[in-house]
Amino acid sequence: MIFKNKLIGQFYLILILFFCGVVFIFWWQDFRRTQQPLIAPSESKENIALNEPIQPITLQLELNESKVKLGDKLFHEPRLSSDNKVSCASCHNLNTGGTDRLVRSIGIQKQLDFINSPTVFNSGFNFKQFWDGRVETLEAQAEQAILSGRLMGKKSWLEVINKLKQFSKYNFWFRQLYPDGITSDNIKDAIAMFERSLYTPNSRFDQFLNGNQNAITEEEKEGYRRFKSYGCVSCHQGMLLGGNMFQTFGLLGDYFGDRGKVTKADLGRFNVTGDKHDRYAFKVPSLRNIVLTSPYFHDGSAETLEEAIKVMAKYQLGRQLPQTDITLIIKFLRTLTGEYQGKPL
């Protein structure tokens, strides 16, 4: 009996020691985790892209370079217009930030468009095209622009195709890339391929997001903090700092009532859906290369970044920003200018 009790006692002792050992192991592992840094030594709490609402633009895209070159020719081809004077590049000049820097673009016979032309740079990353998002793809956007009466003249695709077929170089280029030669779909495909090549990576802010703490100054970092703290980043986020959602212009103030002279173009997304909730809603513009693309907004009403920030603060945030904060935010926005084909814009 005594021997049996001793065995039972030893068994319980071993069980208790085993339990204590398991508890110690879990405690030690947890203790070690608490002593390790939350992020890798090569990373920084301030510049980890995954922890920020903004992501860097990818450095390289896989594109058909031959189609890009053909699309480049077509993008700059005035013969796509009725009067042979207006090309896609007329409204989207690559030397001026991908825009024409006009309040409203000028089409054939000096007709004014109804709205400000957004930049073509990085347009391949937009979730929809045009301010009102009326088309999904760059191909559809190219078609609307080419067949537009005000910009490039009202005409049919047959007229456009017959024009291009008069030039042996286009016949040759298209046959090299497309078995069926010059067609409307192939024209749109080539232009869209070129526009997708117009991405602008490696801005100083992208370098900062990718780990280079010295890519931007302390004032620029502070401007970014103000940009986030005021809530600007709720609409201007993602890779483009915009281009991925719709938002009503005048959330906390009557922008159009104060401005006056409301036009059909001011109705924005409503013109597409007919939904009253979409009245005055527009695709949030990208802030990439923003210092190069004035004037601002769909109506081109803000000539400077300072003016644009004040309007946004008043009508989207319902507040007035101190001049110091406006200056700091502008410093941050200047870090968003990227590179095209390896050269700064």
Domains (range + CATH), the chain: 50-57+201-245+284-344 (1.10.760.10), 65-196 (1.10.760.10)
pLDDT at residue 253, as a whole number: 96
Residue bearing the bigger pLDDT, 5 or 151: 151
Band (150; pLDDT cuts 50, 70, 90):
confident
pLDDT at residue 63, as a whole number: 97
Least confident span in 24-28, 125-129, 153-157: 24-28
pLDDT at residue 36, as a whole number: 33
pLDDT at residue 136, as a whole number: 96
Neighbouring residues of 116: CB distance < 8 A, sequence distance ≥ 6: 102, 103, 104, 105, 131, 295, 296, 297, 298, 299, 300
pLDDT at residue 133, as a whole number: 97
Average pLDDT, the chain: 89
User: For residues 139 and 188, is the Cβ–Cβ distance under 8 A?
Assistant: yes
Containing H/E element for 248? strand 246-248
pLDDT at residue 277, as a whole number: 96
User: For residues 48 and 54, is the Cβ–Cβ distance under 8 A?
Assistant: no
Neighbouring residues of 112: CB distance < 8 A, sequence distance ≥ 6: 104, 105, 106, 150
Residue bearing the bigger pLDDT, 160 or 19: 160
pLDDT at residue 104, as a whole number: 95
For the cut 70, the answer to whether the pLDDT of residue 112 exceeds it is yes
pLDDT at residue 51, as a whole number: 86
Q: What is the pTM of this model?
A: 0.84
Average pLDDT over residues 79-93: 95
User: For residues 333 and 305, is the Cβ–Cβ distance under 8 A?
Assistant: yes
pLDDT at residue 191, as a whole number: 98
Average pLDDT over residues 205-218: 96
Average pLDDT over residues 317-334: 97
User: For residues 322 and 310, is the Cβ–Cβ distance under 8 A?
Assistant: no
Average pLDDT over residues 281-292: 98
The Cα–Cα gap between 26 and 323 comes to 54
Band (154; pLDDT cuts 50, 70, 90):
confident
Average pLDDT over residues 212-237: 97
pLDDT at residue 88, as a whole number: 97
- The CA–CA distances, whole Å, from 313 to 7, 30, 293 equal 79, 46, 20
Tokens of 191: 């232009």
Q: Which amino acid is at 99?
A: T
Containing H/E element for 282? strand 281-283
Residue bearing the bigger pLDDT, 15 or 190: 190
Tokens of 174: 């298209």
Least confident span in 49-58, 248-257, 275-284, 297-306: 49-58
For the cut 50, the answer to whether the pLDDT of residue 60 exceeds it is yes
